[in-house]
């Protein structure tokens, strides 16, 4: 990687250059006495407690103090030795175990806040249903670090020293100790909960390992709960019908912790999910798309796994497309545009989905997940009558049904497609699943009979050529007031460009969007040079994250000790870049 750029170039929004303060150090009692002494002084005087404070069982780093009461809260870290905390050795031995412990501790801290810091002045990043690598908490063999924020109390702009002293005498240490304590007498249950968390991650990793070894693309365990509580909640639906594999697809495997499990194993190729409306098709596909991530114990999808780079592909009209070869799907457009290097600032439903699909193949995704609910119909199907009425040379679109088999056989890219509204895919499918009142049936044999009885009237089935690698150019950068941020799951902002990533559905945590924003800045301004392909650039970011963790992104200007970053998947970072309107290619 190129060396860390001159930090003076990066005065990102809210990251104003603050004169480095001398860090102080002392005991917790020194800190508390100091805070009392600050009572009644101007808010700026809080900066004097920047430093490292020894609480005995842990140490507290106050890294950055907010400059006024309305600024973003102050940044802190609590540090301790996991062995002294009582974290069992069998939870610290591997990077995966430590990742799961970190994810657990973040959740525990959040929960402890409710009990020990009712003032609401202490905050930490929130976590959803997935176990992910997060900058808010990291665990090394000898060190646990939790990053959180404290709003320093004030009356107007006057320091409330007594309230601050109470925060640092009670709320903060009580929360930290409730999070870090795995040794005291009543900690037994917490040790067990921690172990379950570690085991959930390890079993999911083992499942993905099994997929690779046995050549499957997905596994859904018998008994898994796939349905979610609501359209806006990822919590499990309580009265859901548990998943049961069709007998024909049931496989058995042994996991390190769950032991022997059975479930539905999907082989590569084309899998079509059919069934009546409201019978659970999209729910199954949704579980597969989240199956790239491990889930917390109790989620219901702990033993659902898909190949790691599986990508949900949907229509997103209005997205930008930069020089993508969409000719497999789109040719001779009315204006005569070259569709082997297709660019647009405003894609239609079908061109957007075609571009997203080709981009996923370019990035090396092995599995595409497509739902009729979120697709452009004209990209998916064209029936015999329409093929008769509108001649091929007048119709720019080659529907996916003509390419999906070639994609699997020639490019090794499998598809799971939800399609309840058309039988066109039945004879290109390697297997057909039917959802029937939330039961999953293998209707492949019956589908073959139907196809034999009602053969396709016309066939335009074609192959799928290799997708070339694109090589982005370096972006100018050096904006006067660089801005790098994310808004929830839907947007990334780089200077004046807003990138809509709402259709990149496997970005599941706002911290992933934020990490994507910083990684995009790094890729565009420092990694891409007109010779490095998109895929190679993404590999460089993967290597950086592997070696340095999410803190590696600070080299692109993210503030030191970032507390809200979550590791995105390589392919999702690629998808975000592909939606960047100013992307230029060599
Ligand atoms: P489809 O895509 O077939 O139209 P959905 O997957 O959207 O159906 O599911 C329809 C409704 O049924 C949703 O509200 C979903 O939460 C619920 N549902 C799905 N699977 C189950 C299940 N196994 N048990 C209970 N409810 C379910
Ligand atoms: Mg549906």
Nearest CA to ligand 1 atom 15: 227
Q: Using CA positions, which residue lies closest to atom 5 of ligand 1?
A: 280
The pLDDT confidence band at residue 9, using thresholds 50, 70 and 90, is: very low
- Average pLDDT estimate for 509-516: 98
**Whole-angstrom Cα distance, residue 317 to residue 502?**
11
The neighbour count for residue 279, using CB atoms within 10 Å, is: 19
CA separation for the pair 114, 118 (Å, rounded): 6
Spell out the residues 6+ positions from residue 222 whose beta carbon is closer than 8 angstroms to its own.
Answer: 242, 243, 244, 245, 250, 261, 262, 263, 264
pLDDT tens digit sequence for 170-187: 999 999 999 999 999 899
Ligand 2 center–CA 436 separation, angstroms? 13
How far, in Å, is the centroid of ligand 2 from the Cα of 287?
Answer: 13
Higher pLDDT, 458 or 174: 174
User: Nearest to residue 366, comparing CAs of 516, 245, 216?
Assistant: 216
Q: Please, what is the end-to-end C-alpha distance for the chain in angstroms?
A: 21
- How far is ligand 2, taken at its centre, from the CA of residue 273, in Å? 10
User: Which contacts of 322-326 are long-range, i.e. CB under 8 A and separated by 24 or more positions?
Assistant: 322/470, 322/578, 322/580, 322/583, 322/584, 322/585, 323/470, 323/585, 324/355, 324/358, 324/359, 324/362, 324/470, 324/578, 325/358, 325/467, 325/468, 326/351, 326/354, 326/355, 326/358
Residue 14, pLDDT > 60, answer no
Q: Of ligand 1's atoms, which has the minimum distance to the CA of residue 239?
A: 25
pLDDT digits (tens, 9 = 90+) for 171-230: 999 999 999 999 998 999 999 999 999 999 999 999 999 999 999 999 999 999 999 999
Q: Which ligand is nearest to the CA of 284?
A: 1
pLDDT at 15: 45
User: Closest ligand 1 atom, CA of 371?
Assistant: 2
- Distance (angstroms) between ligand 2 centre and the Cα of 279 equals 8
> How does strand 218-221 pair with strand 304-306?
antiparallel
Which of 226, 241, 280 has most ligand 1 atoms within 8 Å of its beta carbon, as the pocket-test mutant?
A: 280
CATH class of 211-468: alpha beta
Distance 496 CA to ligand 1 centre (A): 40
Nearest 5 degrees, angle CA 277-CA 279-CA 284?
A: 115
Whether 531 and 517 have beta carbons less than 8 Å apart is answered as no
The rounded Å distance from CA 415 to ligand 1 centre is 21
Give 50-105 pLDDT, tens digit per residue: 999 999 999 999 999 999 999 999 999 999 999 999 999 999 999 999 999 999 99
- The protein residue with its alpha carbon nearest to ligand 1, atom 19, reads 280
Whether residue 11 has pLDDT greater than 70: no
Phi-psi group of 513: left, alpha or beta (phi > 0 → left; psi -120 to 50 → alpha; rest → beta): alpha
- Pocket, ligand 1, Cβ cutoff 6 A: 226-227, 237, 240-241, 275, 277-283, 435, 438
Q: Which residues pair with 24 in a beta bridge?
A: 51
Over range 9-17, report the average pLDDT: 41
Task: Give the confidence band of 321 by pLDDT, cuts at 50, 70, 90.
Answer: very high
d(CA 22, CA 411): 58
What pLDDT score does 541 carry? 98
* Nearest ligand by distance to the CA of 237: 1
Q: What is the share, in percent, of the chain residues with pLDDT greater than 90?
A: 89
Ligand 1 pocket mutation pick from 283, 290, 374 by most atoms within 8 angstroms of CB: 283
Average pLDDT score, the chain = 94
- The pLDDT assigned to 258 comes to 98
User: CA-CA distance, 504 to 511, in Å (whole number)?
Assistant: 14
* Ligand (nearest to CA of 435): 1
Measured from the Cβ of residue 56, the count of other Cβ atoms closer than 10 Å reads 9
- pLDDT for res 20: 60
What CA–CA distance (Å, rounded) separates 29 from 55? 8
Mean pLDDT to the nearest integer, 40-54: 97
Helix or strand (DSSP H, E) at 139: strand 137-140
Nearest residue by C-alpha to atom 11 in ligand 1: 278
User: CA 153: distance to chain centroid?
Assistant: 35
- Residues of the chain with pLDDT > 70, as a percent, come to 96
Q: Which atom of ligand 1 is nearest to the CA of 243?
A: 23
Neighbours of 308 (CB within 10 A): 18
Query: Given pLDDT bands bounded at 50, 70 and 90, which one contains residue 17?
Result: very low
Residue 257 corresponds to which tokens in the numbers above? 């912790």
Q: How far apart are CA 79 and CA 434, in angstroms?
A: 52
Tell me the β-bridge partners of 494.
484, 497
- Do 302 and 203 form a contact (C-beta atoms < 8 A)? yes
Alpha carbon of residue 223 to chain centroid: 25
Determine the distance separating the centroid of ligand 2 and the alpha carbon of 277, expressed in angstroms: 7
What is the number of the ligand closest to the CA of 240?
A: 1
Q: What is the pLDDT of residues 250-263, one digit of tens each?
A: 999 999 999 999 99
Nearest to 347 by CA among 377, 322, 381: 322
Nearest atom of ligand 1 to the alpha carbon of 225: 23
How far apart (Å, rounded) are the C-alpha atoms in residues 361 and 559?
34
Distances (CA, A) of 491 to 233, 543, 552: 20, 25, 22
pLDDT band per the 50, 70, 90 thresholds, residue 389: confident
pLDDT at 19: 56
pLDDT for 479: 81
- Cα 313 to averaged position of ligand 2 atoms, centre (Å): 14
Model pLDDT, residue 106: 98
pTM of structure = 0.95
pLDDT exceeds cutoff 70 at 10:
no
Residues 564, 125 contacting (CB under 8 angstroms): yes
| Mean pLDDT of the region 110-120 | 95
**Whole-number pLDDT of residue 6:** 40
Taking the C-alpha atoms of residue 246 and residue 231, their distance in angstroms, rounded to an integer, is 27
| Residue 409 to residue 465: CA distance in whole angstroms | 11
Atom of ligand 1 nearest to the CA of 279: 3
> Which residue's CA lies nearest to atom 16 of ligand 1?
227
How many angstroms separate the alpha carbon of residue 377 from the centre of ligand 1? 22
- Point out the ligand nearest to the CA of residue 276: 1
Q: How far is the CA of 431 from the centre of ligand 1 (A)?
A: 21
- Phi, psi dihedrals of residue 168, rounded to the nearest 5°: -90, -10
**Nearest ligand 1 atom to alpha carbon 438:** 23
Atom of ligand 1 at shortest range from CA of 285: 6
Distance from residue 275's CA to the centre of ligand 2 (Å): 9
State the closest ligand 1 atom to the C-alpha of 373, by its place in the atom list counted from 1.
Answer: 2
């Amino acid at each position: 990687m190129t060396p860390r750029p001159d930090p003076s170039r990066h005065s990102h929004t809210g990251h104003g250059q603050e004169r480095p303060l001398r860090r102080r150090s002392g005991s917790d009692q020194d800190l508390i006495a100091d805070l009392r002494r600050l009572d009644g002084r101007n808010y700026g005087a809080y900066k004097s407690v920047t430093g490292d404070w020894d609480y005995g069982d842990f140490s507290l780093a106050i890294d950055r103090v907010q400059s006024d009461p309305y600024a973003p809260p102050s940044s802190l870290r609590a540090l301790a030795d996991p062995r002294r905390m009582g974290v069992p050795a069998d939870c610290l031995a591997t990077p995966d175990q430590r990742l799961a412990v970190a994810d657990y501790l973040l959740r525990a801290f959040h929960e402890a806040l409710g009990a020990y810091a009712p003032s609401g002045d202490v905050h930490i990043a929130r976590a959803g249903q997935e176990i992910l690598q997060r900058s808010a908490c990291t665990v090394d063999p000898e060190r646990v670090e939790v990053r959180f924020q404290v709003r320093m109390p004030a009356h107007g702009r006057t320091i409330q020293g007594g309230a601050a002293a109470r925060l640092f005498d009670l709320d903060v240490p009580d929360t930290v100790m409730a999070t870090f304590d795995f040794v005291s007498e009543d900690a037994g249950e917490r040790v067990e909960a921690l172990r379950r968390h570690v085991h959930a991650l390890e079993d999911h990793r083992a499942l993905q390992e099994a997929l690779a070894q046995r050549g499957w693309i997905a596994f859904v365990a018998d008994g898994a709960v796939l349905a979610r509580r609501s359209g806006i909640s990822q919590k499990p639906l309580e009265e859901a019908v548990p998943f049961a594999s069709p007998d024909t697809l049931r496989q058995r495997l042994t996991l390190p912790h769950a032991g022997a499990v059975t479930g539905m194993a999907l082989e590569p190729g084309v899998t079509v999910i059919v069934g009546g409306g409201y019978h659970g098709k999209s729910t199954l596909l949704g579980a597969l798309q989240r199956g790239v991530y491990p889930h917390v114990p109790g989620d219901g999808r702990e033993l659902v796994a898909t190949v790691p780079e599986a990508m949900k592909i949907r229509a997103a009209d209005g997205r930008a497309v930069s020089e993508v070869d969409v000719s497999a799907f789109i040719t001779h457009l009315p204006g005569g545009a070259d569709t082997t290097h297709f660019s647009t600032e405003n894609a239609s439903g079908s061109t957007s989905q075609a571009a997203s699909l080709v981009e996923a193949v370019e990035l090396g995704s092995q599995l595409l997940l497509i739902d009729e609910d979120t697709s452009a119909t004209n990209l998916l199907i064209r029936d015999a009558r329409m093929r008769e009425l509108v001649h091929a040379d007048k119709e720019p679109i080659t529907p996916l049904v003509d390419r999906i088999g070639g994609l699997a056989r020639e490019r090794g890219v499998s598809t799971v497609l939800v399609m309840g509204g058309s039988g066109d895919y039945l004879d290109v499918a390697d297997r057909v699943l039917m959802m029937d009142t939330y039961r999953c049936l293998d209707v492949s044999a019956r589908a073959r009979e139907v196809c034999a009885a009602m053969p396709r009237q016309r066939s335009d089935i074609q192959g799928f050529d290799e997708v070339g690698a694109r090589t982005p150019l370096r972006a100018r950068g050096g904006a006067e007031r660089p801005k790098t941020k994310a808004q929830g799951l839907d947007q990334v902002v780089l200077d004046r460009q807003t990138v809509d990533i709402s259709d990149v559905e496997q970005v599941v945590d706002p911290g992933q969007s934020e990490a994507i924003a910083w990684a995009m800045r790094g890729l565009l301004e420092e990694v891409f040079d007109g010779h490095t392909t998109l895929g190679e650039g993404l590999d460089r970011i993967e290597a950086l994250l592997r070696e340095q963790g999410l803190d590696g992104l600070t080299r692109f200007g993210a503030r030191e000790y970032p507390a809200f970053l979550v590791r995105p998947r390589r392919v999702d970072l690629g998808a975000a870049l592909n939606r960047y309107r100013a992307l230029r290619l060599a």
